[in-house]
A and B are shown apart, each in its own frame.
Chain A
Amino acid sequence: MKERELRDLITEVKTGRLSRRAFVQRMLAVGLTAPMAGMILSHSGVAMAATAIPYKPTKAGGGGPLKLLYWQAVTLLNPHFAVGTKDQEGSRIFYEPLAGWDSEGNLVPFLAAEIPSKENDGLSEDGLSVVWKLKRGVKWHDGTPFTADDVVFTWEYARTPETSAVTIASYKDVKAEKVDDFTVRITFPKPTPFWADAFVGASGMIIPKHLFADYIGGKSRDAPTNLKPVGTGPYLFVDFKPGDVVLAKLNPNYHVPNRPYFDTLEVKGGGDAVSAARAVLQTGEYDYAWNMQVEDEILLKLESTGKGKVSIVPTGNIEFIMLNATDPAVEVDGERSSIKTKHPLFSDPAVRQAINLLIDRSSIEKFIYGRTGVATANFLNNPERYRSKKTKFEFNIEKANQILETAGWKKGGDGVRAKDGKPLKFVFQTSINAPRQKTQAIIKQACQKAGIDVELKSVVGSVFFSSDTSNPDTYPHFYSDMQMYTTTMLQPDPQIFMNQCVSWEVATKENKWQGRNASRWQNKEYDELYHQAERELDPVKRAAMYITLNEMAVGDNYIQGVVYRPRVTALNSNLTVDLSGWDNDMYQLASWYREA
């Protein structure tokens, strides 16, 4: 998709011929996030029209208890220490950011009075600063008023390296300053097209200055408030047992009228995902269960009992396969898969193309993931056809055979193709996880029919995803030919996501395999365009660039999508909630209510 096509689409949205939702869905289809789509629209003069959240209760309270179940228990309640989403979720009950992302990529104000835009002078023309106006009359749970000082302090706290805040990336390069008690200006060192990162969403929760001021830097872990949060959120802290339970009660002074609905809140943790699904969908012991990594078949069966429903919202997470651009069998200077080598089989584009044709994505979706994984593979190869969902990817053993045959890979006596004495044999690794092993089997079978011999390897997740430099089985080491895992898009802006393909991020021994480019695919054009996109201020142009980057990466067949992984949650049937795949599940907790 080129810039002009994008502009045409935006005009269609402006004139009302294309709905906002449809636009967002098309952006998702070409690999952009909903928040990014929202930014494009707002820049082009289509206001961020946060969808009104249905909320029927006419007064706060009276809803009784709300019981949430997390099969991974919350272990800490400081949002700036929250490594996993579970901890972000726990913190989000008490703390709020200036704004969050809804499911259609709109910024929704929480502690901000309004979303900065050019119209309200919030955004500067040069892309060097943003001015946030804060909501007035907001009080911390202990009664202290919330002001710009707290926002500036949060920046100071998170950006100090000794604090070891995991949110440091959002704050270390920007500068926050107080304009007046209810106005904060953020300035960027260079023009920044995606300005809504600091103080927004999961990494943007504001913490109270008066309680954390003495615990900035090295003393951060001693702050008593780490375990007893005092925020601005809809529920007040009651009790917390790390790894077990968080208890909260209604905040009578919440800054949004008539909210929240529930009187008490319990977040229980532990156990496993399947029994958590059971507790919500089948026995109704709990109202909500987080992150249902459960086979769809089981979910459907449990849903049929009628006590609960499953909610599925889109995210940027994608389960994908990468081919190694380097040779994992040869050791150069003490490392395998060295960038000084070339893969003996995959350096032939025909082989890569054949493998792409041998991934039976629709079967993988249909028989393995169901609603929890949507087949979306080739979409980036065929942007002009993105409208048709069915033609985006192809599973064709015959065609794969043909391509290999013409490229000179001939079948030998054992049924395995070979060329120049190199047999088409390789190792395909992934982490241990039932759906992944089933996917591996489907691909292996198809490859066999095309004369490719695939050896399957599964590594325990805690090893595969670790940063252990001495263990050769981690995914950044990539000491095999092909591997598969889910890459998560933690930030709505694709910039960080897309650096998984730039040449300076290649994982090597030198950078202790910290580089994010595990496939070691390198492309000069890609690098250049990536740099351009970093500087580009016009969000439409920038989006077009990211789409092109996506095409480059996927078009070369070194990176091949398998399924989208939407976020799946289990809910009690009469609970009304608003969930977004671009923010924490708890982002609209204040608006959750129960239908009588």
Chain B
Amino acid sequence: MGKYILRRLIIALPSLLGISLVLFVLLALAPGDPFGELASNSNIPPEVQAALRVKFGIDDPVLIRYFRWLVAMLHGDWGFSFSSRINVDQLILQRVPTTLFVVGSSQIVALAIALPVGVYAAMRPYSIFDQVANTFAFIGFSLPTFFTGLLLILVFSVNLGWLPFVYRVDIAATGWHWYWENFKQAIMPVAVLGLFQAASYTRYVRSAVLDVIRLDYVTTARSKGLNEGKVIIKHVVRNALIPVVTLVALQMPAVFGGAIVTEQIFRIPGIGSLLITAILANDTPVIMAVTFVFACLVVAFNLLADIIYGWLDPRISYS
């Protein structure tokens, strides 16, 4: 096991290196310039622009800039944001807790909906409940988050006035009131992301359970006289969830990606909205760092999925 993880980690390194090179070159080739705003600003003489360009080494060849970035990264220096003039790691660390909170709660909501609905639908395939659940799941993952987000804002903030649509991390209340305010403002973004995920998870859970529920050992368990609840929970779901768990792990990077849009709509100060502002400002070091973090997440969760799979399913061996 330990050997396997080590081997996977060693394989992950060159792929991360490759990803970073591709990202860096793409960003370097992309149009736009971090000092574009300076260029169209008549108050700033060209000398200052030139000084800034030299200071940040923007005019050097791409590969030299890449190696400089790589060496700095290995030293733990994530670079320096052009537009905020502070270190990128500081900027990202400020944002991570909010994103984790929103993404984490939405995953919990998604699983809390998908598990019971999926299992129940699989227990009674093609029943009315199954049909309704399927329809909703279909609608759920067909609607993009930017649409459902705007829809919820229109209904709950503008028309009903129940929920705020600007997310704030600085709520000036204490005690229960603070929790209540936080809860209120998190409802819509978490619902948008959670329901979207729940829709696809429901379908995975349903088909996984359906695969297992017809197997002979389930019939055996039933004929032993076990009650239905025990059969489902102990015998069916336990085995059916093995592929689902890995799926959830593999879905995590996609969830972070989906959070980008949701964060922008609700003004959630997470890494997703940081990425968008950085892209708009052509703040290359920040774009590079955030996309690289996403790349690391993909690699890490892939590894995690493989490990969990083996741990849950004893038939898989790593040797």
A164 pairs with B42, CB closer than 8 A: no
A78 pairs with B267, CB closer than 8 A: no
Flag whether A522 is at the interface (Cβ < 8 A).
no
Kindly list chain A residues whose C-beta atoms are within 8 Å of the C-beta of B48. 161, 164-166, 168-169
Flag whether B168 is at the interface (Cβ < 8 A).
yes
Residue on B with the closest CB to A243? B277
| Contact pattern, A 478-515, Cβ under 8 Å of B = 1, otherwise 0 | 00000000001011000011001000000000000010
| A84 CB, min distance to chain B CBs, angstroms | 6
Flag whether A381 is at the interface (Cβ < 8 A).
no
A245 pairs with B170, CB closer than 8 A: yes
| B184 CB, min distance to chain A CBs, angstroms | 12
Most buried by A among B55, B170, B267, B273: B267
Option from A65, A269, A496 in Cβ contact (under 8 Å) with B43: A496
Distance in angstroms between the alpha carbons of A5 and B233 in the assembled complex: 93
B36 pairs with A467, CB closer than 8 A: yes
Option from B42, B84, B264 in Cβ contact (under 8 Å) with A76: B84
Distance in angstroms between the alpha carbons of A227 and B36 in the assembled complex: 23
Flag whether B172 is at the interface (Cβ < 8 A).
yes
| B229 CB, min distance to chain A CBs, angstroms | 47
Flag whether B250 is at the interface (Cβ < 8 A).
no
Option from A69, A270, A463 in Cβ contact (under 8 Å) with B269: A270
Distance in angstroms between the alpha carbons of A9 and B47 in the assembled complex: 41
| B255 CB, min distance to chain A CBs, angstroms | 20
Option from B43, B158, B169 in Cβ contact (under 8 Å) with A490: B43
| A513 CB, min distance to chain B CBs, angstroms | 9
Kindly list chain B residues whose C-beta atoms are within 8 Å of the C-beta of A268. 166, 168, 267
B165 pairs with A285, CB closer than 8 A: yes
Kindly list chain A residues whose C-beta atoms are within 8 Å of the C-beta of B172. 65, 264
Flag whether A241 is at the interface (Cβ < 8 A).
yes
Kindly list chain B residues whose C-beta atoms are within 8 Å of the C-beta of A227. 86
Option from B39, B94, B161, B267 in Cβ contact (under 8 Å) with A467: B39
Distance in angstroms between the alpha carbons of A243 and B281 in the assembled complex: 11
| Contact pattern, A 206-247, Cβ under 8 Å of B = 1, otherwise 0 | 000000000000000100001100000000000101111101
Given A81-B85, A243-B91, A467-B38, also A279-B165 (CB < 8 A): yes
A462 pairs with B282, CB closer than 8 A: yes
Option from A72, A269, A270, A462 in Cβ contact (under 8 Å) with B31: A462
Distance in angstroms between the alpha carbons of A264 and B168 in the assembled complex: 15
Distance in angstroms between the alpha carbons of A169 and B49 in the assembled complex: 12
Flag whether A516 is at the interface (Cβ < 8 A).
yes
Flag whether B52 is at the interface (Cβ < 8 A).
yes
Flag whether B223 is at the interface (Cβ < 8 A).
no
Distance in angstroms between the alpha carbons of A275 and B150 in the assembled complex: 10
Distance in angstroms between the alpha carbons of A282 and B166 in the assembled complex: 13
B168 pairs with A245, CB closer than 8 A: yes
B38 pairs with A243, CB closer than 8 A: no
Given A161-B48, A244-B269, A264-B172, also A491-B158 (CB < 8 A): no
Kindly list chain A residues whose C-beta atoms are within 8 Å of the C-beta of B51. 161-162, 164
Given A244-B169, A285-B165, also A462-B38 (CB < 8 A): no
Kindly list chain B residues whose C-beta atoms are within 8 Å of the C-beta of A465. 36-37, 39-40
| A108 CB, min distance to chain B CBs, angstroms | 21
| Contact pattern, A 554-574, Cβ under 8 Å of B = 1, otherwise 0 | 000000000000000000000
Given A83-B41, A164-B48, A271-B267, also A463-B165 (CB < 8 A): no
| A371 CB, min distance to chain B CBs, angstroms | 23
Flag whether A540 is at the interface (Cβ < 8 A).
no
B164 pairs with A285, CB closer than 8 A: yes
Flag whether B83 is at the interface (Cβ < 8 A).
yes
Distance in angstroms between the alpha carbons of A281 and B225 in the assembled complex: 65
A283 pairs with B165, CB closer than 8 A: yes
Kindly list chain A residues whose C-beta atoms are within 8 Å of the C-beta of B81. 75, 242
B52 pairs with A270, CB closer than 8 A: no
A282 pairs with B158, CB closer than 8 A: yes
Distance in angstroms between the alpha carbons of A466 and B30 in the assembled complex: 12
| Contact pattern, A 372-389, Cβ under 8 Å of B = 1, otherwise 0 | 000000000000000000
Flag whether B211 is at the interface (Cβ < 8 A).
no
| A101 CB, min distance to chain B CBs, angstroms | 15
| B59 CB, min distance to chain A CBs, angstroms | 10
A84 pairs with B32, CB closer than 8 A: no
Distance in angstroms between the alpha carbons of A376 and B49 in the assembled complex: 33
Flag whether A286 is at the interface (Cβ < 8 A).
yes
Flag whether B45 is at the interface (Cβ < 8 A).
yes
Residue on B with the closest CB to A272? B264
Kindly list chain A residues whose C-beta atoms are within 8 Å of the C-beta of B164. 283, 285
Distance in angstroms between the alpha carbons of A167 and B48 in the assembled complex: 9
B42 pairs with A497, CB closer than 8 A: yes
Interface residues of B in 261-278 (CB under 8 A from A): 264-265, 267, 269, 273-274, 277
B43 pairs with A166, CB closer than 8 A: yes
B168 pairs with A203, CB closer than 8 A: no
A242 pairs with B158, CB closer than 8 A: no
| Contact pattern, B 71-99, Cβ under 8 Å of A = 1, otherwise 0 | 00000000011011110000100110000
Option from B32, B42, B52 in Cβ contact (under 8 Å) with A466: B32
Option from B39, B41, B158, B267 in Cβ contact (under 8 Å) with A514: B39
Distance in angstroms between the alpha carbons of A147 and B315 in the assembled complex: 78
Flag whether A468 is at the interface (Cβ < 8 A).
yes
Flag whether B254 is at the interface (Cβ < 8 A).
no
Given A266-B170, A496-B43, also A466-B36 (CB < 8 A): yes
B267 pairs with A270, CB closer than 8 A: yes
Kindly list chain A residues whose C-beta atoms are within 8 Å of the C-beta of B192. none
Most buried by A among B42, B51, B80: B42
Given A226-B86, A241-B269, A471-B31, also A491-B280 (CB < 8 A): no
Option from B37, B153, B165 in Cβ contact (under 8 Å) with A83: B37
Residue on A with the closest CB to B80? A221
Flag whether B60 is at the interface (Cβ < 8 A).
no
Given A268-B166, A467-B39, also A168-B281 (CB < 8 A): no
Option from B43, B44, B265, B269 in Cβ contact (under 8 Å) with A245: B269
Q: Can you sample 22 A-B contacts with CB below 8 Å?
A: A75-B83, A161-B51, A164-B48, A164-B51, A168-B47, A169-B48, A226-B85, A242-B86, A244-B95, A245-B169, A270-B277, A278-B158, A285-B164, A285-B165, A286-B166, A462-B280, A465-B36, A466-B282, A467-B33, A467-B36, A468-B31, A497-B42
Given A226-B86, A242-B91, A264-B172, 17 further pairs, Cβ under 8 A: A75-B84, A164-B48, A164-B52, A168-B48, A172-B45, A239-B170, A244-B169, A245-B269, A271-B265, A271-B267, A275-B165, A462-B31, A466-B32, A466-B33, A468-B32, A488-B42, A496-B43
6 A-B pairs closest in CB distance: A467-B39, A244-B269, A466-B36, A242-B84, A270-B267, A75-B84
